[in-house]
Structure 1
Amino acid sequence: MTSTSSTQQPAPSPPKSNKLPEAGRTPAAGGQDDRPWYADAVIYQVDPNLFVDSNADGRGDLVGLTQRLEHIRELGATCLWILPFYETPYHDGGYDVSDHRKVDPRFGTVGDFENLVRRAHELGLRVVIELVVQHTSDQHRWFQEARRDPSSPYRDYYVWADEPEESDVEPIFPGVEDSVWEWDDVAGQYYRHVFYSHEPDLDLSKDVVRREVADIADFWLERGVDGFRLDAVPTIMERTRAADPTDDGLWWLSEFRDHLDAGRPGAAIMGEVDEWPEKYADYFGDNRRLNLILDFWVNNHIFLALARNDAEPLVEALRQQPEPPPGARYATWLRNHDELDLERLSDEEREEVYAAFAPEEEMRIYGRGIRRRLAPMLEGDDRRIAMAHAVMLSLPGVPVLRYGDEVGQGDDLSRPERTSVRTPMQWTDGPQGGFSKSDDGLAAHLITDGEFDYRRRNVVDQAREADSLLDRLRDLVHARRAVPEAVNRAYHPVDVGVPGVLAMRHDGDGTSVLMLVNLTPDKVVARAPEFSLDGAQEILVDPASKGSGRDGDGLALAGYGYRWIRVGV
């Protein structure tokens, strides 16, 4: 094989202005088409509260995030997904919004946000923010006025009842909330809350509420954002369905899509859709509804495959998914800011994943998921962590990286519920891990013991080490971006004779790329007789597999190794 690895190339130079391509389009390799910008994106999810503290108050902020955008760009990401920074009592990580048009003072100002977007665009990074409109905080002015005055126009913004009503709606957090109804003494009625009792549900069956949502989106589009991650989409649809059952309530996504296109063509909607795969096509709506669907189905089966050291569960899950319409994509990820929700697995499959990655009860949550970060689940083994990312990056769709996973950050199981996976970014081995200069405590405790101690795992140290986890993930992301075939969605799983190897073939114009990932700890030889290896070009190989290559008519892979090659057919 001839080595033409792209992983040694520097990150793309930043554009000379902050003007990104018109109408949200991005020229493809060679300028042959104008795919929407998100079609070949690599997304980096960041919690502004936990990334960088610029003013020594112990909490991360937008100025600090702006100061570290180069790290995100150098990792190879092309899009920044920012968790909530709106005004909030902060009882639910900022998802309890008390004003959608204000930046909470702990994070900075609207001007700080505008500077962040401007700088991100200068570096070629798109910006996607959370649109949290299924509920508000009970401290929101709308709710406070609604509860005090039955004749207030805001009374219609929420869901009220004289007595708890029977429905199919159940608490999102079983074991924490026993009911979706909460009595309010001031209002003299019950209000509904699918999430926490301090987060009353907005009633999107009402025209006035849907107009508010459109106005909120406009406010942030005017400040330069490139799209939204729409929280809790199926729950929102329950209310729009109550207004009009047409298309199962999904008509509102089309309405909202049209509204965005009228003001900012190309603005993306990435939806949190924890549903069965047969429903995905309706949520895409011929790319006239959601542009990106966060793919819980594949996410669940990635972990089932990892638990079994067998690629078949993942391959079968891909076969069962509907093809997204042209221009739309699935967004794939390993871990995010919530629990690893395993509801798309059978009871028996879920127990397999529990046994592999959450053997102790304190590691599990809500009777359905795991509250651990990726690195502890994989026992801090950098080979396995890199392998898991190679799996994700081998799949069709838009990959989503999570802050801290690039250095293998751990979790803090002493923290309640999902906050166990929300700890400060580990930048250095110095005081407060380089996250803050505060002497008065941090937004969350740094991890200070064991394998995941910030003095053992941090960005600065790993940046100095060849073949560190940070180095491997940077190579993986840049290699993925250098493979245009991988974003064309002309892909096929390949049988290479080894159940523990995921083999994905991505086809381009007269070219094919074969991405091999070994899910097992053992050295294997993958054979793909449909390909000619003569003259094959090596794109990327993991450090342990570098010393081997052709093995007769096959390709050798070290334990947890990966190899991407451009081949003849």
Structure 2
Amino acid sequence: MTKSWWKESVVYQIYPRSFNDTTGNGIGDIPGIIEKLDYIKSLGVDVVWLCPVYESPNDDNGYDISDYRKISEDFGGQEAFDELLEKMHQKGLKLVMDLVANHTSDEHYWFQESKKSKTNPYRDYYVWKDGKEDGPPNNWTSFFSGSAWLHDDTTDQYYLHYFTKKQPDLNWENPEVRKEIHDVIKYWFDKGVDGFRMDVISVISKPEGLPDTTFEKFQDTIENDYANGPKIHDYLNEMNREVLSKYDIMTVGEGPGIDLKNGPLYVDESRNELNMVFHFDHMFIDCGLGGKYDPREFNLNEFKEVFSNWDKALKDKGWGSIFLGNHDFSRMISRFGDDGTHHNASAKLLVTLLMTLRGTVYVYQGDEIGMTNVAYPHISDYNDVETLNAYKEAKEQGKDMDAFMSVVHAQSRDNARTPMQWDTHKNAGFSDGKPWLKINPNYTDINVAAQEQDTNSILNYYREMIAFRKAHPTMVYGDYECIDNGHESIYAYLRWDAEHCFLVLHNFSDRTQTYASPIQGNGFGLMKSNLSDFTDQIYELAPWQTKILKEH
């Protein structure tokens, strides 16, 4: 297996709008990130992934880009960005940007031209189709509810939008579109940016003929109709050949619909496409037939199988991404841990899991202090377009809206977007003005300032575990095997290479558990735990305890 800096890196994801506001307008900005660079560096991370800061009307909080080469003044503009990049590099940090290339904003120049007439030079930059007698060209639905098509009166045709109606999909069949995107990538690499996280890159190639979907479950529609289109690998190989391969950068593709069958194709080192992808097998594990707003019970064994199966699929030629949360999902401690009684222990367990699996690790802002989901009392408190559309649809269907609000509390993307909790001052130290999204009320208990002073804090444990991973390359490149025999509460696995062997144990429950190790005779000793008052019995685990054992 080839070694590289991006395989060994720990990435810290920043959602700029919610990170740190220096102007008092309630919106986080780039100078706010510059202000916190020493804090970010103190975590021990190597790379910062910055969610979109480009010019945008913000229908989807920056994922609707109106100018790929312009930094929005909302975030501080180009001068602030240049300063950020320079200061990050001075501190030994790399910067990864978001590339949103499946769609633009409907306010982008290309689309403004495209919709003028069927003969406009930019017409073929987007997916335009005639409708059927009874409506849109096909029965596709948007990721954000409703039809994926919108009628335009000017030319009496429909345009495709997988996401909001203000996010028209680009037509990647057009070589001019691909060249435009390549030029955008080159522009940022030439400025010194160190890589791209490629938003929903798995859906840029549309199925031939755009047939109706026949699947009842939307996730099946994504996997079989929207993602992994017939030319996806041609497009990525071309991108790699024309641009990516000419720079020392990292690429990670967001991959809705990517599964174990096709996932390795994106990251096989011999195919020259992407370094790694984000698959979502574990992130949709509690979603029912109707998607994330139709939840089902979490199952630990299914969760373990996801990590085990992907490690096996990628271990020979590819590379994985290890994450449990980001700006599109609930807070990981509220979802996979215990954000109540065992808040401290379960947050530490989850980061131990992240730091002891094979793949590049991603940490989302606020998870390092155990930030939790928020339960706003009214739907008017929410900002996320996906949440608002789902609520509207549920209401139209006559659902029990009190029950649906409980689902919103658990599943809304705004859970991850509440402003960063820095201290106990007004607005959690995020802003002197009214925040764009309400602060989670628990900021008085959960904040950076308090945890900086506490040696037993989640924050300081994150620093310990990141340092631990860097001190033990076995955790980065070593082999992996799950050895818990399908235990309902324990996740146990080996990590080993020619020099070392580790046994990692996690108790995903609020009860004491005993691990029946098949290898107890091999001389393992306790090396690290998230609890200080653990038993002398190394295979006994207190509630939400995690242990790292090392073979003598």
Q: TM-score range by the shorter chain?
A: 0.7 to 0.9
Counterparts of 2:52 and 2:298, CA distance in 1: 36
Q: Is the 8 A contact 2:105 2:167 kept in 1?
A: yes
Deviation, structure 1 residue 248 = 4.6
Higher relative contact order by CA 8 Å / sep ≥ 6: 1 or 2? 1
Q: TM-score, structure 2 length as denominator?
A: 0.81
| 1:512-545 CA-partner distances (Å, limit 9, x unpaired) | 11111111222233343435564x554421124x
Paired residue for 2:530, among 542, 558, 567?
Answer: 542
Letter in 2 for 1:560: W
Deviation, structure 1 residue 507 = 1.0
User: Structure 1: which 5+ residue stretches go unaligned?
Assistant: 1-32, 340-371
Letter in 1 for 2:366: G
Matched with 1:443 is 436
Q: 1:303 to 1:39 in 2, by over 3 A?
A: farther
Paired residue for 1:97, among 62, 65, 68?
Answer: 65
Counterparts of 1:166 and 1:148, CA distance in 2: 20
Matching of residue 172 in structure 1 with residue 143 in structure 2: yes
Q: Is the 8 A contact 1:192 1:201 kept in 2?
A: yes
Matched with 1:379 is 339
Deviation, structure 1 residue 508 = 1.8
Letter in 2 for 1:158: Y
Matched with 2:401 is none
Q: TM-score, structure 1 length as denominator?
A: 0.79
SS in 2 for 1:106: helix
Q: 1:47 to 1:239 in 2, by over 3 A?
A: farther
Deviation, structure 1 residue 74 = 1.7
Q: 1:492 to 1:462 in 2, by over 3 A?
A: same
Letter in 2 for 1:337: H
Paired residue for 1:401, among 363, 374, 385?
Answer: 363
Deviation, structure 1 residue 326 = 5.4
Letter in 2 for 1:447: N
Which deviates the most, 284-293 or 321-330?
321-330
| 1:53-73 CA-partner distances (Å, limit 9, x unpaired) | 122222111111122122222
| 1:405-427 CA-partner distances (Å, limit 9, x unpaired) | 12222325441413343111110
Deviation, structure 1 residue 510 = 2.5
Matched with 1:390 is 352
Report the aligned-residue RMSD: 2.8
Matched with 1:323 is 313
Q: 1:309 to 1:133 in 2, by over 3 A?
A: closer
Identity %: 27
Deviation, structure 1 residue 246 = 9.4
Deviation, structure 1 residue 135 = 0.7
Matched with 1:130 is 98
Matching of residue 106 in structure 1 with residue 82 in structure 2: no
Letter in 1 for 2:331: R
Letter in 1 for 2:253: M
Matching of residue 154 in structure 1 with residue 122 in structure 2: yes
Counterparts of 2:298 and 2:144, CA distance in 1: 31
Which deviates the most, 405-414 or 35-44?
405-414
Deviation, structure 1 residue 198 = 0.9
Counterparts of 1:302 and 1:194, CA distance in 2: 23
Matched with 1:352 is none
Letter in 2 for 1:382: N
Letter in 1 for 2:302: P
Matched with 1:564 is 548
User: Structure 2: which 5+ residue stretches go unaligned?
Assistant: 211-227, 289-295, 388-412
Matching of residue 429 in structure 1 with residue 424 in structure 2: yes
Paired residue for 2:107, among 128, 132, 139?
Answer: 139
Counterparts of 1:487 and 1:444, CA distance in 2: 37
Counterparts of 1:308 and 1:152, CA distance in 2: 51
Q: Which aligned pairs between 1:329-340 and structure 2 lie closer than 5 A?
A: 329-339=319-329
Q: 1:247 to 1:139 in 2, by over 3 A?
A: closer
Q: Is the 8 A contact 2:206 2:230 kept in 1?
A: no
Q: Is the 8 A contact 1:134 1:231 kept in 2?
A: yes
Deviation, structure 1 residue 430 = 0.8
Matched with 1:265 is 248
Matched with 2:396 is none
Counterparts of 2:186 and 2:267, CA distance in 1: 22
Letter in 2 for 1:274: G
Letter in 1 for 2:541: L
Letter in 1 for 2:261: E
In the TM superposition, structure 1's runs of 4+ consecutive aligned residues that sit over 6 Å from their partners are 239-242, 307-310
Deviation, structure 1 residue 98 = 0.5
SS in 2 for 1:200: coil
Q: Which aligned pairs between 1:416-495 and structure 2 lie closer than 5 A?
A: 416=383, 417=387, 418-438=413-433, 441-448=434-441, 453-495=442-484
Q: Is the 8 A contact 1:295 1:332 kept in 2?
A: no
